[in-house]
Amino acid sequence: MLLLAISYQNVVPATPNSDRLFDFWTSLLILAMLVVLAVLLLAGQILKRQPESVFDPAIVRTFNKRVSTWLTICVLLVVSLLFNRTVTVVLFGLISLWALREFITMTPTRRGDHGTLAWLIFGFTPLQYVMVAMNLYDFYTIVIPVYASLFIPARIAFTGDHKRFLERSAKIQFGLLICVYALSHTPALLYLELETYDSVTQTKVPWTGKTAGLLFFFIVIVQVSDMLHFVWDRLAGKHVIASAINTTKTWEGVIGSACCTALVGILLQFVTPFTWYGAGFMASIISVMASSGSMTMSAIKRDRGVRDYGTLVQGHAGVLDRIDSVCFAAPIFFHATRFFLNAQ
Amino acid sequence: MKQVTVPFLVMLAKVLSGATVRWVDCEPDTCQRVYFANHTSHLDALVLWASLPKPIRALTRPVAAADYWQGGPVRRYMAKSFNALLIDRTKIKVHNSPIDMMIRSIGDTESLIVFPEGGRNHQPEMRPFKSGLFYLAKKRPDLELVPVYIDNLNRVMPKGQFLPVPLLSCISIGAPIWLESGEKKGSFLNRARQAVLDMKDGSDAES
Protein backbone atom coordinates (compact mmCIF):
# COMPACT_ATOMS: atom_id res chain seq x y z
CA MET A 1 0.00 0.00 0.00
CA LEU A 2 2.86 2.28 0.91
CA LEU A 3 4.39 1.66 -2.47
CA LEU A 4 1.19 2.50 -4.29
CA ALA A 5 0.80 5.65 -2.22
CA ILE A 6 4.32 6.74 -3.06
CA SER A 7 3.97 5.97 -6.70
CA TYR A 8 0.56 7.59 -6.86
CA GLN A 9 2.10 10.91 -5.93
CA ASN A 10 4.50 10.22 -8.68
CA VAL A 11 2.01 9.52 -11.40
CA VAL A 12 -0.32 12.43 -10.83
CA PRO A 13 1.99 15.45 -10.60
CA ALA A 14 4.38 13.74 -13.04
CA THR A 15 7.45 15.74 -12.24
CA PRO A 16 9.68 14.92 -15.20
CA ASN A 17 13.05 14.76 -13.46
CA SER A 18 11.72 13.17 -10.31
CA ASP A 19 14.29 11.10 -8.48
CA ARG A 20 11.80 8.47 -7.38
CA LEU A 21 12.71 4.96 -8.31
CA PHE A 22 9.19 3.61 -8.64
CA ASP A 23 6.44 4.50 -11.02
CA PHE A 24 2.93 3.11 -10.98
CA TRP A 25 3.65 0.08 -13.17
CA THR A 26 6.78 -0.89 -11.24
CA SER A 27 4.87 -0.75 -7.96
CA LEU A 28 2.15 -2.90 -9.46
CA LEU A 29 4.72 -5.51 -10.48
CA ILE A 30 6.38 -5.45 -7.05
CA LEU A 31 3.06 -5.80 -5.26
CA ALA A 32 2.02 -8.66 -7.51
CA MET A 33 5.36 -10.34 -6.91
CA LEU A 34 5.12 -10.01 -3.15
CA VAL A 35 1.53 -11.29 -3.18
CA VAL A 36 2.49 -14.31 -5.29
CA LEU A 37 5.44 -15.10 -3.02
CA ALA A 38 3.24 -14.76 0.08
CA VAL A 39 0.66 -17.11 -1.46
CA LEU A 40 3.41 -19.61 -2.29
CA LEU A 41 4.70 -19.36 1.27
CA LEU A 42 1.21 -20.12 2.57
CA ALA A 43 0.81 -22.99 0.11
CA GLY A 44 4.14 -24.39 1.29
CA GLN A 45 2.97 -24.35 4.90
CA ILE A 46 -0.20 -26.20 3.93
CA LEU A 47 1.79 -28.75 1.91
CA LYS A 48 4.02 -29.34 4.92
CA ARG A 49 1.02 -30.55 6.92
CA GLN A 50 -0.04 -33.09 4.28
CA PRO A 51 0.72 -36.76 4.90
CA GLU A 52 4.01 -37.96 3.44
CA SER A 53 2.31 -40.23 0.91
CA VAL A 54 0.77 -37.25 -0.90
CA PHE A 55 3.87 -35.11 -1.37
CA ASP A 56 7.53 -35.95 -1.07
CA PRO A 57 8.57 -34.06 2.10
CA ALA A 58 12.07 -33.43 0.71
CA ILE A 59 10.62 -31.55 -2.26
CA VAL A 60 8.26 -29.59 -0.03
CA ARG A 61 11.17 -28.61 2.20
CA THR A 62 13.25 -27.44 -0.78
CA PHE A 63 10.26 -25.54 -2.10
CA ASN A 64 9.65 -23.82 1.24
CA LYS A 65 13.30 -22.91 1.63
CA ARG A 66 13.41 -21.41 -1.85
CA VAL A 67 10.24 -19.39 -1.38
CA SER A 68 11.26 -17.99 1.98
CA THR A 69 14.75 -17.01 0.78
CA TRP A 70 13.29 -15.30 -2.27
CA LEU A 71 10.73 -13.50 -0.16
CA THR A 72 13.52 -12.27 2.13
CA ILE A 73 15.63 -11.10 -0.81
CA CYS A 74 12.70 -9.33 -2.46
CA VAL A 75 11.58 -7.58 0.72
CA LEU A 76 15.14 -6.40 1.38
CA LEU A 77 15.40 -5.21 -2.20
CA VAL A 78 12.14 -3.26 -2.02
CA VAL A 79 13.09 -1.68 1.31
CA SER A 80 16.52 -0.71 -0.01
CA LEU A 81 14.95 0.85 -3.10
CA LEU A 82 12.64 2.92 -0.91
CA PHE A 83 15.80 4.67 0.29
CA ASN A 84 17.81 5.10 -2.88
CA ARG A 85 19.95 3.33 -5.43
CA THR A 86 23.10 3.45 -3.33
CA VAL A 87 21.48 1.44 -0.55
CA THR A 88 20.50 -1.20 -3.11
CA VAL A 89 24.08 -1.34 -4.37
CA VAL A 90 25.31 -1.82 -0.80
CA LEU A 91 22.78 -4.61 -0.31
CA PHE A 92 24.07 -6.43 -3.38
CA GLY A 93 27.62 -5.84 -2.19
CA LEU A 94 26.84 -7.64 1.06
CA ILE A 95 25.18 -10.51 -0.84
CA SER A 96 28.32 -10.73 -2.98
CA LEU A 97 30.56 -10.90 0.07
CA TRP A 98 28.45 -13.64 1.59
CA ALA A 99 28.44 -15.65 -1.65
CA LEU A 100 32.19 -15.21 -2.06
CA ARG A 101 32.69 -16.39 1.50
CA GLU A 102 30.70 -19.55 0.81
CA PHE A 103 32.54 -20.12 -2.46
CA ILE A 104 36.01 -19.82 -0.95
CA THR A 105 35.08 -21.88 2.09
CA MET A 106 34.14 -24.68 -0.28
CA THR A 107 37.18 -24.54 -2.56
CA PRO A 108 40.41 -25.49 -0.83
CA THR A 109 43.12 -22.86 -0.97
CA ARG A 110 46.59 -22.95 0.51
CA ARG A 111 48.17 -20.83 3.20
CA GLY A 112 49.97 -18.81 0.53
CA ASP A 113 46.63 -17.62 -0.85
CA HIS A 114 45.62 -15.82 2.31
CA GLY A 115 46.91 -12.42 1.21
CA THR A 116 45.19 -12.73 -2.15
CA LEU A 117 41.90 -13.61 -0.49
CA ALA A 118 42.21 -10.58 1.77
CA TRP A 119 42.65 -8.43 -1.35
CA LEU A 120 39.48 -9.92 -2.79
CA ILE A 121 37.35 -9.31 0.23
CA PHE A 122 38.69 -5.98 1.40
CA GLY A 123 39.84 -4.62 -1.96
CA PHE A 124 38.17 -5.72 -5.17
CA THR A 125 34.68 -6.43 -3.87
CA PRO A 126 34.11 -3.03 -2.20
CA LEU A 127 35.83 -1.30 -5.13
CA GLN A 128 33.55 -2.96 -7.66
CA TYR A 129 30.40 -1.83 -5.85
CA VAL A 130 31.71 1.68 -5.23
CA MET A 131 32.31 1.97 -8.96
CA VAL A 132 28.80 0.69 -9.69
CA ALA A 133 27.33 3.22 -7.26
CA MET A 134 29.33 5.98 -8.95
CA ASN A 135 28.15 4.73 -12.34
CA LEU A 136 31.70 4.41 -13.68
CA TYR A 137 30.76 2.07 -16.50
CA ASP A 138 34.18 2.14 -18.17
CA PHE A 139 35.82 0.95 -14.97
CA TYR A 140 33.46 -1.51 -13.34
CA THR A 141 33.20 -3.54 -16.54
CA ILE A 142 36.97 -4.06 -16.80
CA VAL A 143 38.56 -3.84 -13.34
CA ILE A 144 37.85 -7.47 -12.40
CA PRO A 145 38.19 -9.19 -15.79
CA VAL A 146 41.41 -7.35 -16.64
CA TYR A 147 43.18 -6.01 -13.57
CA ALA A 148 42.06 -8.47 -10.90
CA SER A 149 42.49 -11.50 -13.14
CA LEU A 150 46.10 -10.50 -13.79
CA PHE A 151 46.70 -9.42 -10.21
CA ILE A 152 45.55 -12.68 -8.63
CA PRO A 153 48.11 -15.05 -10.22
CA ALA A 154 50.87 -12.48 -9.77
CA ARG A 155 50.05 -12.02 -6.09
CA ILE A 156 50.04 -15.79 -5.58
CA ALA A 157 53.36 -16.12 -7.44
CA PHE A 158 54.91 -13.48 -5.17
CA THR A 159 54.16 -15.62 -2.12
CA GLY A 160 56.39 -18.31 -3.58
CA ASP A 161 54.05 -21.26 -3.27
CA HIS A 162 53.87 -23.05 -6.63
CA LYS A 163 51.85 -26.12 -5.65
CA ARG A 164 48.76 -26.46 -7.88
CA PHE A 165 49.37 -22.88 -8.98
CA LEU A 166 47.02 -22.71 -11.98
CA GLU A 167 44.26 -24.50 -10.15
CA ARG A 168 44.38 -22.09 -7.21
CA SER A 169 44.51 -18.99 -9.42
CA ALA A 170 41.59 -20.24 -11.47
CA LYS A 171 39.48 -20.98 -8.42
CA ILE A 172 40.00 -17.56 -6.93
CA GLN A 173 39.44 -15.80 -10.25
CA PHE A 174 36.27 -17.76 -10.90
CA GLY A 175 34.89 -17.03 -7.44
CA LEU A 176 35.49 -13.32 -7.88
CA LEU A 177 34.03 -13.32 -11.39
CA ILE A 178 30.81 -15.11 -10.47
CA CYS A 179 30.11 -13.88 -6.95
CA VAL A 180 31.18 -10.27 -7.38
CA TYR A 181 31.61 -9.18 -10.98
CA ALA A 182 28.60 -10.94 -12.45
CA LEU A 183 26.27 -10.15 -9.57
CA SER A 184 27.23 -6.46 -9.53
CA HIS A 185 25.54 -6.06 -12.91
CA THR A 186 22.16 -6.48 -11.22
CA PRO A 187 22.19 -3.17 -9.28
CA ALA A 188 24.02 -1.61 -12.25
CA LEU A 189 20.72 -1.93 -14.13
CA LEU A 190 19.42 0.92 -11.96
CA TYR A 191 21.91 3.34 -13.50
CA LEU A 192 21.14 2.66 -17.15
CA GLU A 193 19.97 5.56 -19.28
CA LEU A 194 17.89 4.13 -22.05
CA GLU A 195 15.94 5.34 -25.04
CA THR A 196 13.11 3.80 -26.97
CA TYR A 197 12.00 4.04 -30.57
CA ASP A 198 8.87 6.06 -31.03
CA SER A 199 7.00 4.54 -33.96
CA VAL A 200 4.74 7.60 -34.38
CA THR A 201 7.40 10.24 -34.78
CA GLN A 202 9.95 7.73 -36.09
CA THR A 203 12.61 9.05 -33.72
CA LYS A 204 14.41 7.86 -30.63
CA VAL A 205 13.06 9.28 -27.39
CA PRO A 206 14.35 8.90 -23.83
CA TRP A 207 12.64 6.10 -21.94
CA THR A 208 10.31 7.55 -19.31
CA GLY A 209 9.98 4.41 -17.20
CA LYS A 210 11.95 3.62 -14.06
CA THR A 211 15.01 1.42 -14.03
CA ALA A 212 13.77 -0.17 -10.80
CA GLY A 213 11.14 -1.72 -13.05
CA LEU A 214 13.89 -3.19 -15.20
CA LEU A 215 15.59 -4.61 -12.12
CA PHE A 216 12.41 -6.25 -10.90
CA PHE A 217 11.62 -7.50 -14.39
CA PHE A 218 14.98 -9.25 -14.28
CA ILE A 219 14.56 -10.68 -10.77
CA VAL A 220 11.01 -11.89 -11.44
CA ILE A 221 11.99 -13.48 -14.75
CA VAL A 222 14.88 -15.35 -13.11
CA GLN A 223 12.61 -16.68 -10.39
CA VAL A 224 9.87 -17.62 -12.82
CA SER A 225 12.41 -19.33 -15.03
CA ASP A 226 13.79 -21.36 -12.11
CA MET A 227 10.28 -22.38 -11.14
CA LEU A 228 9.22 -23.29 -14.68
CA HIS A 229 12.42 -25.24 -15.14
CA PHE A 230 11.53 -27.30 -12.09
CA VAL A 231 7.96 -27.85 -13.29
CA TRP A 232 9.03 -28.87 -16.82
CA ASP A 233 11.65 -31.25 -15.44
CA ARG A 234 9.02 -32.94 -13.31
CA LEU A 235 6.21 -33.06 -15.85
CA ALA A 236 7.94 -33.59 -19.18
CA GLY A 237 11.59 -34.31 -18.37
CA LYS A 238 12.88 -37.19 -20.50
CA HIS A 239 16.39 -36.35 -21.70
CA VAL A 240 18.72 -35.65 -18.79
CA ILE A 241 21.47 -33.24 -19.87
CA ALA A 242 24.31 -34.67 -17.79
CA SER A 243 23.36 -37.17 -15.15
CA ALA A 244 26.86 -37.06 -13.67
CA ILE A 245 26.28 -33.43 -12.74
CA ASN A 246 22.59 -33.09 -12.06
CA THR A 247 20.10 -35.90 -12.28
CA THR A 248 17.01 -33.71 -12.50
CA LYS A 249 17.92 -31.09 -15.12
CA THR A 250 16.62 -32.05 -18.53
CA TRP A 251 16.64 -30.58 -22.04
CA GLU A 252 12.86 -30.37 -21.87
CA GLY A 253 13.28 -28.19 -18.79
CA VAL A 254 15.70 -25.82 -20.50
CA ILE A 255 13.65 -25.43 -23.68
CA GLY A 256 10.26 -25.50 -21.98
CA SER A 257 11.22 -22.88 -19.43
CA ALA A 258 12.83 -20.66 -22.08
CA CYS A 259 9.61 -20.66 -24.11
CA CYS A 260 7.24 -20.23 -21.17
CA THR A 261 9.43 -17.56 -19.59
CA ALA A 262 9.30 -15.67 -22.88
CA LEU A 263 5.50 -15.58 -22.53
CA VAL A 264 5.79 -14.24 -18.98
CA GLY A 265 8.29 -11.67 -20.29
CA ILE A 266 5.75 -10.49 -22.85
CA LEU A 267 3.15 -10.17 -20.09
CA LEU A 268 5.51 -8.04 -18.01
CA GLN A 269 6.57 -5.87 -20.94
CA PHE A 270 4.83 -2.86 -19.33
CA VAL A 271 7.68 -2.17 -16.88
CA THR A 272 10.43 -2.38 -19.49
CA PRO A 273 11.61 -0.22 -22.38
CA PHE A 274 11.35 -3.24 -24.68
CA THR A 275 8.77 -3.94 -27.35
CA TRP A 276 6.64 -7.01 -26.69
CA TYR A 277 8.83 -9.26 -28.80
CA GLY A 278 11.94 -7.67 -27.29
CA ALA A 279 10.69 -8.46 -23.79
CA GLY A 280 9.99 -12.05 -24.81
CA PHE A 281 13.43 -12.39 -26.37
CA MET A 282 15.17 -10.94 -23.29
CA ALA A 283 13.19 -13.23 -20.99
CA SER A 284 14.22 -16.31 -22.93
CA ILE A 285 17.88 -15.20 -22.87
CA ILE A 286 17.62 -14.76 -19.10
CA SER A 287 16.05 -18.19 -18.79
CA VAL A 288 18.77 -19.93 -20.81
CA MET A 289 21.51 -18.15 -18.84
CA ALA A 290 19.82 -19.02 -15.53
CA SER A 291 19.77 -22.70 -16.53
CA SER A 292 23.45 -22.52 -17.50
CA GLY A 293 24.24 -20.89 -14.17
CA SER A 294 22.66 -23.56 -12.05
CA MET A 295 24.24 -26.29 -14.19
CA THR A 296 27.70 -24.74 -13.75
CA MET A 297 27.28 -24.39 -10.02
CA SER A 298 26.03 -27.98 -9.83
CA ALA A 299 29.21 -29.07 -11.60
CA ILE A 300 31.36 -27.24 -9.05
CA LYS A 301 29.40 -28.66 -6.13
CA ARG A 302 29.63 -32.14 -7.60
CA ASP A 303 33.37 -31.78 -7.99
CA ARG A 304 33.75 -30.64 -4.40
CA GLY A 305 31.40 -33.35 -3.17
CA VAL A 306 28.89 -31.04 -1.48
CA ARG A 307 25.17 -31.24 -2.12
CA ASP A 308 24.47 -27.56 -1.64
CA TYR A 309 26.30 -24.63 -0.16
CA GLY A 310 23.82 -24.46 2.70
CA THR A 311 25.03 -27.74 4.20
CA LEU A 312 28.65 -26.78 3.72
CA VAL A 313 28.68 -25.39 7.20
CA GLN A 314 25.64 -26.23 9.25
CA GLY A 315 23.02 -23.59 9.80
CA HIS A 316 23.93 -21.27 6.96
CA ALA A 317 21.33 -20.27 4.45
CA GLY A 318 23.33 -21.08 1.34
CA VAL A 319 23.13 -17.78 -0.51
CA LEU A 320 25.09 -19.14 -3.45
CA ASP A 321 22.45 -21.84 -4.03
CA ARG A 322 19.83 -19.14 -4.55
CA ILE A 323 21.74 -16.66 -6.65
CA ASP A 324 23.66 -18.92 -9.05
CA SER A 325 21.10 -18.30 -11.79
CA VAL A 326 21.04 -14.55 -11.12
CA CYS A 327 24.83 -14.39 -11.38
CA PHE A 328 24.95 -15.92 -14.83
CA ALA A 329 22.02 -13.99 -16.27
CA ALA A 330 22.84 -10.50 -14.89
CA PRO A 331 25.80 -9.44 -17.06
CA ILE A 332 24.20 -10.79 -20.23
CA PHE A 333 20.88 -9.06 -19.57
CA PHE A 334 22.69 -5.84 -18.65
CA HIS A 335 24.84 -5.76 -21.77
CA ALA A 336 22.09 -6.86 -24.13
CA THR A 337 19.82 -4.11 -22.82
CA ARG A 338 22.58 -1.56 -23.05
CA PHE A 339 23.58 -2.67 -26.54
CA PHE A 340 20.11 -2.26 -27.98
CA LEU A 341 18.73 0.70 -26.05
CA ASN A 342 21.54 2.79 -24.58
CA ALA A 343 21.03 6.54 -24.90
CA GLN A 344 23.94 7.98 -26.86
CA MET B 1 33.94 0.81 28.66
CA LYS B 2 33.93 -2.95 28.99
CA GLN B 3 30.15 -3.08 28.52
CA VAL B 4 30.64 -1.67 25.04
CA THR B 5 33.82 -3.36 23.89
CA VAL B 6 33.07 -6.91 25.02
CA PRO B 7 29.84 -7.28 23.01
CA PHE B 8 31.65 -5.60 20.14
CA LEU B 9 34.51 -8.08 20.32
CA VAL B 10 32.07 -10.97 20.52
CA MET B 11 30.18 -9.70 17.49
CA LEU B 12 33.40 -9.13 15.56
CA ALA B 13 34.61 -12.64 16.36
CA LYS B 14 31.30 -14.10 15.20
CA VAL B 15 31.18 -12.10 11.97
CA LEU B 16 34.80 -12.76 11.04
CA SER B 17 34.70 -16.46 11.76
CA GLY B 18 31.17 -17.03 10.45
CA ALA B 19 31.13 -19.74 13.08
CA THR B 20 28.34 -22.24 13.39
CA VAL B 21 28.22 -23.89 16.80
CA ARG B 22 27.03 -27.50 17.01
CA TRP B 23 26.39 -29.01 20.42
CA VAL B 24 26.70 -32.73 19.73
CA ASP B 25 25.74 -34.98 22.66
CA CYS B 26 26.41 -32.07 24.98
CA GLU B 27 24.20 -29.30 26.32
CA PRO B 28 25.31 -25.80 27.26
CA ASP B 29 25.69 -25.77 31.03
CA THR B 30 27.26 -23.51 33.62
CA CYS B 31 28.78 -26.41 35.56
CA GLN B 32 32.57 -26.42 35.82
CA ARG B 33 34.10 -27.65 32.61
CA VAL B 34 37.34 -27.77 30.71
CA TYR B 35 36.79 -27.27 27.00
CA PHE B 36 39.77 -28.70 25.15
CA ALA B 37 40.21 -28.05 21.44
CA ASN B 38 42.55 -28.35 18.51
CA HIS B 39 44.66 -25.24 17.96
CA THR B 40 45.31 -23.84 14.51
CA SER B 41 44.86 -20.07 14.73
CA HIS B 42 45.34 -17.15 17.08
CA LEU B 43 41.61 -16.61 16.86
CA ASP B 44 40.75 -20.00 18.35
CA ALA B 45 40.50 -18.87 21.96
CA LEU B 46 38.53 -15.73 21.13
CA VAL B 47 36.11 -17.40 18.72
CA LEU B 48 35.43 -20.44 20.89
CA TRP B 49 34.86 -18.19 23.88
CA ALA B 50 32.58 -15.88 21.88
CA SER B 51 30.50 -18.74 20.57
CA LEU B 52 29.52 -19.95 24.04
CA PRO B 53 26.15 -18.69 25.33
CA LYS B 54 26.47 -15.49 27.33
CA PRO B 55 25.97 -16.84 30.88
CA ILE B 56 28.54 -19.57 30.24
CA ARG B 57 30.91 -17.14 28.57
CA ALA B 58 30.90 -14.99 31.72
CA LEU B 59 32.18 -18.00 33.70
CA THR B 60 34.71 -19.30 31.20
CA ARG B 61 38.37 -18.33 30.90
CA PRO B 62 40.49 -19.23 27.89
CA VAL B 63 44.04 -20.25 28.74
CA ALA B 64 46.36 -18.45 26.33
CA ALA B 65 50.04 -17.83 25.78
CA ALA B 66 51.30 -14.72 27.56
CA ASP B 67 54.02 -13.99 24.98
CA TYR B 68 51.41 -13.52 22.24
CA TRP B 69 48.60 -11.83 24.16
CA GLN B 70 50.87 -9.38 25.95
CA GLY B 71 52.47 -8.19 22.73
CA GLY B 72 51.08 -4.70 22.27
CA PRO B 73 48.30 -2.72 23.95
CA VAL B 74 45.50 -3.94 21.67
CA ARG B 75 46.14 -7.61 22.35
CA ARG B 76 46.64 -6.94 26.05
CA TYR B 77 43.30 -5.15 26.16
CA MET B 78 41.56 -7.92 24.21
CA ALA B 79 42.98 -10.61 26.48
CA LYS B 80 41.67 -8.65 29.46
CA SER B 81 38.24 -8.26 27.85
CA PHE B 82 37.73 -11.94 27.33
CA ASN B 83 39.13 -12.70 30.74
CA ALA B 84 42.01 -14.79 29.45
CA LEU B 85 44.25 -16.69 31.83
CA LEU B 86 47.70 -15.91 30.46
CA ILE B 87 50.42 -18.48 30.96
CA ASP B 88 54.03 -17.50 30.48
CA ARG B 89 55.50 -20.46 28.64
CA THR B 90 59.07 -19.41 29.41
CA LYS B 91 58.64 -19.30 33.19
CA ILE B 92 57.18 -22.72 33.93
CA LYS B 93 58.62 -23.90 37.25
CA VAL B 94 57.93 -26.92 39.37
CA HIS B 95 56.61 -24.97 42.34
CA ASN B 96 54.45 -22.76 40.16
CA SER B 97 53.11 -25.05 37.48
CA PRO B 98 50.45 -23.73 35.12
CA ILE B 99 48.12 -26.50 36.25
CA ASP B 100 48.16 -25.14 39.81
CA MET B 101 47.58 -21.65 38.46
CA MET B 102 44.60 -22.83 36.46
CA ILE B 103 43.08 -24.71 39.37
CA ARG B 104 43.60 -21.77 41.71
CA SER B 105 42.07 -19.29 39.31
CA ILE B 106 38.87 -21.16 38.48
CA GLY B 107 37.87 -21.82 42.09
CA ASP B 108 34.54 -23.62 42.34
CA THR B 109 32.65 -21.69 39.69
CA GLU B 110 34.62 -21.03 36.54
CA SER B 111 35.40 -23.11 33.47
CA LEU B 112 38.47 -23.19 31.24
CA ILE B 113 39.29 -23.38 27.56
CA VAL B 114 42.58 -25.14 26.88
CA PHE B 115 44.50 -26.18 23.80
CA PRO B 116 46.42 -29.32 24.77
CA GLU B 117 48.43 -29.45 21.54
CA GLY B 118 50.79 -26.99 23.16
CA GLY B 119 51.17 -24.47 20.36
CA ARG B 120 49.35 -23.71 17.18
CA ASN B 121 49.50 -26.50 14.71
CA HIS B 122 49.99 -25.90 11.00
CA GLN B 123 49.88 -29.46 9.78
CA PRO B 124 46.59 -31.03 8.78
CA GLU B 125 47.15 -33.76 11.41
CA MET B 126 46.54 -32.92 15.06
CA ARG B 127 49.63 -33.19 17.23
CA PRO B 128 49.79 -35.46 20.30
CA PHE B 129 48.40 -33.79 23.42
CA LYS B 130 50.64 -32.41 26.14
CA SER B 131 50.24 -33.91 29.55
CA GLY B 132 48.65 -30.84 31.18
CA LEU B 133 45.14 -32.07 30.55
CA PHE B 134 45.92 -35.31 32.36
CA TYR B 135 47.26 -33.58 35.50
CA LEU B 136 44.32 -31.18 35.44
CA ALA B 137 41.94 -34.13 35.36
CA LYS B 138 43.86 -35.90 38.08
CA LYS B 139 43.86 -32.96 40.47
CA ARG B 140 40.27 -32.01 39.78
CA PRO B 141 38.42 -35.22 38.81
CA ASP B 142 35.07 -33.43 39.18
CA LEU B 143 35.62 -31.24 36.11
CA GLU B 144 33.78 -32.21 32.93
CA LEU B 145 36.27 -32.47 30.07
CA VAL B 146 34.51 -31.37 26.90
CA PRO B 147 36.13 -32.04 23.50
CA VAL B 148 35.79 -29.31 20.88
CA TYR B 149 36.79 -29.41 17.23
CA ILE B 150 37.38 -26.09 15.50
CA ASP B 151 37.14 -26.38 11.74
CA ASN B 152 38.41 -23.99 9.06
CA LEU B 153 39.49 -21.21 11.42
CA ASN B 154 43.12 -21.64 10.36
CA ARG B 155 42.07 -20.41 6.93
CA VAL B 156 40.42 -17.35 8.44
CA MET B 157 43.68 -16.30 10.08
CA PRO B 158 46.78 -18.39 9.52
CA LYS B 159 50.08 -17.83 11.24
CA GLY B 160 51.96 -14.66 10.41
CA GLN B 161 48.93 -12.84 8.99
CA PHE B 162 47.35 -9.85 10.63
CA LEU B 163 44.27 -9.49 8.45
CA PRO B 164 41.60 -12.15 8.88
CA VAL B 165 39.70 -13.33 5.80
CA PRO B 166 36.11 -13.87 6.89
CA LEU B 167 35.34 -17.40 5.72
CA LEU B 168 32.87 -19.76 7.35
CA SER B 169 34.01 -21.98 10.18
CA CYS B 170 32.39 -24.57 12.39
CA ILE B 171 32.76 -25.38 16.07
CA SER B 172 31.64 -28.84 17.19
CA ILE B 173 31.26 -29.49 20.92
CA GLY B 174 31.11 -33.12 21.97
CA ALA B 175 30.14 -35.32 24.91
CA PRO B 176 32.21 -34.81 28.11
CA ILE B 177 34.84 -37.35 29.15
CA TRP B 178 36.42 -38.06 32.54
CA LEU B 179 39.64 -39.62 33.73
CA GLU B 180 38.92 -43.31 34.46
CA SER B 181 40.27 -44.57 37.76
CA GLY B 182 43.72 -46.02 37.25
CA GLU B 183 43.92 -44.83 33.67
CA LYS B 184 47.48 -44.27 32.44
CA LYS B 185 48.59 -40.88 31.16
CA GLY B 186 49.30 -42.01 27.59
CA SER B 187 46.04 -43.80 27.05
CA PHE B 188 44.01 -40.97 28.58
CA LEU B 189 45.66 -38.38 26.34
CA ASN B 190 45.09 -40.56 23.30
CA ARG B 191 41.45 -41.00 24.25
CA ALA B 192 41.05 -37.23 24.69
CA ARG B 193 42.69 -36.57 21.34
CA GLN B 194 40.44 -39.16 19.70
CA ALA B 195 37.39 -37.46 21.22
CA VAL B 196 38.36 -34.23 19.45
CA LEU B 197 39.04 -36.11 16.19
CA ASP B 198 35.64 -37.79 16.41
CA MET B 199 34.03 -34.37 16.33
CA LYS B 200 36.01 -33.60 13.18
CA ASP B 201 34.80 -36.73 11.44
CA GLY B 202 31.28 -35.96 12.55
CA SER B 203 31.35 -32.59 10.85
CA ASP B 204 32.78 -34.13 7.69
CA ALA B 205 30.10 -36.76 7.52
CA GLU B 206 27.31 -34.24 7.63
CA SER B 207 28.59 -31.92 4.96
Tens of pLDDT along A37-93?
A: 889 888 888 887 877 776 777 777 777 877 888 888 888 888 888 888 899 999 999
SS (H, E, C) chain A: CHHHHHHHHHHCCCCCCCCCCCCHHHHHHHHHHHHHHHHHHHHHHHHHHCCCCCCCHHHHHHHHHHHHHHHHHHHHHHHHHHHCHHHHHHHHHHHHHHHHHHHHHHCCCCHHHHHHHHHHHHHHHHHHHHHHHCCCHHHHCCHHHHHHHHHHHHHHHHHCCCCCHHHHHHHHHHHHHHHHHHHHHHHHHHHCCEEEEECCCCEEEECCCCHHHHHHHHHHHHHHHHHHHHHHHHHHCCCEEECCCEEEEEHHHHHHHHHHHHHHHHHHHHHCCCCHHHHHHHHHHHHHHHHHHHHHHHHHHHHHCCCCHHHCCCCCCCHHHHHHHHHHHHHHHHHHHHHHHECC
Answer yes or no: is A35 within a domain. Answer: yes
Answer yes or no: is A266 within a domain. Answer: yes
Q: Which pLDDT does position A308 carry in this prediction?
A: 55
Q: Are residues A126 and A219 in the same domain?
A: no
Out of A191, A225, A246, pick the residue that ends a domain: A191
Residues of chain A contacting residue B162, judged by C-beta atoms under 8 Å apart: none
Q: Are residues A264 and A187 in the same domain?
A: no
Can you give the residue range of the structural domain that contains A44?
Answer: 1-10+20-83
Distance from CA of A81 to the nearest CA of B (A): 26
Share of chain B above pLDDT 70, in %: 90
The residue with greater pLDDT, A58 or A102, is: A102
Reported as a single tens digit per residue, the pLDDT across B83-111 is 888 887 776 666 667 888 888 888 888 89
Q: Are residues A209 and A341 in the same domain?
A: yes
Answer yes or no: is A88 within a domain. Answer: no
Q: Are residues A68 and A58 in the same domain?
A: yes
Q: Are residues A205 and A270 in the same domain?
A: yes
Out of A191, A210, A231, pick the residue that ends a domain: A191
Answer yes or no: is A199 within a domain. Answer: yes
Q: Are residues A177 and A197 in the same domain?
A: no
Q: Are residues A40 and A98 in the same domain?
A: no
Q: Which pLDDT does position B93 carry in this prediction?
A: 65
Residue A17 reports pLDDT greater than 50: no
Q: Are residues A170 and A183 in the same domain?
A: yes
The residue with greater pLDDT, A213 or A343, is: A213
Residues of chain B contacting residue A101, judged by C-beta atoms under 8 Å apart: 18, 166-168
Out of A191, A224, A251, pick the residue that ends a domain: A191
The residue with greater pLDDT, A315 or A318, is: A318
Mean residue pLDDT across chain B = 83
Q: Considering only CB atoms, which residues of chain B are within 8 Å of chain A?
A: 18, 20, 22, 122, 152, 155, 158-159, 161, 163, 165-170, 203, 206-207
Residues of chain B contacting residue A168, judged by C-beta atoms under 8 Å apart: none
Of A6-10, A85-89, A263-267, B84-88, the poorest mean pLDDT is in: A6-10
Of A86-100, A226-240, B111-125, the poorest mean pLDDT is in: B111-125
Residue B22's DSSP bridge partners are B172
Q: Which pLDDT does position B121 carry in this prediction?
A: 67
Mean pLDDT for the stretch of residues B110-118: 86
Residues of chain A contacting residue B206, judged by C-beta atoms under 8 Å apart: 311, 314
Whether residue B165 and residue A313 make contact (CB cut-off 8 A), yes or no, is no
Of the candidates A111, A306, A314, the beta carbon closest to that of B170 is on A314
Q: Are residues A311 and A230 in the same domain?
A: yes
Whether residue A121 and residue B168 make contact (CB cut-off 8 A), yes or no, is no
Residues of chain A contacting residue B18, judged by C-beta atoms under 8 Å apart: 101, 105, 313, 316
Can you give the residue range of the structural domain that contains B29?
Answer: 2-206
pTM score, whole prediction? 0.83
Answer yes or no: is A15 within a domain. Answer: no
Residue A7 reports pLDDT greater than 70: no
Of the candidates A97, A104, A111, the beta carbon closest to that of B158 is on A111
Whether residue B20 and residue A105 make contact (CB cut-off 8 A), yes or no, is no
Residues of chain B contacting residue A311, judged by C-beta atoms under 8 Å apart: 206-207
Looking at the structure of chain B, the number of domains it has is: 1
Whether residue A313 and residue B206 make contact (CB cut-off 8 A), yes or no, is no
Q: Are residues A285 and A342 in the same domain?
A: yes
Q: Are residues A181 and A206 in the same domain?
A: no
Write the CATH number for B115: 3.40.1130.10
Q: Distance from first CA to last CA of chain B, Å, rounded?
A: 41
Alpha-carbon span A15 to A17, nearest angstrom: 6
Looking at the structure of chain A, the number of domains it has is: 3
Q: Could you tell me whether strands B33-37 and B111-114 are parallel, antiparallel, or unpaired per DSSP bridges?
A: parallel
Backbone angles phi, psi at B141, to 5 degrees: -65, -10
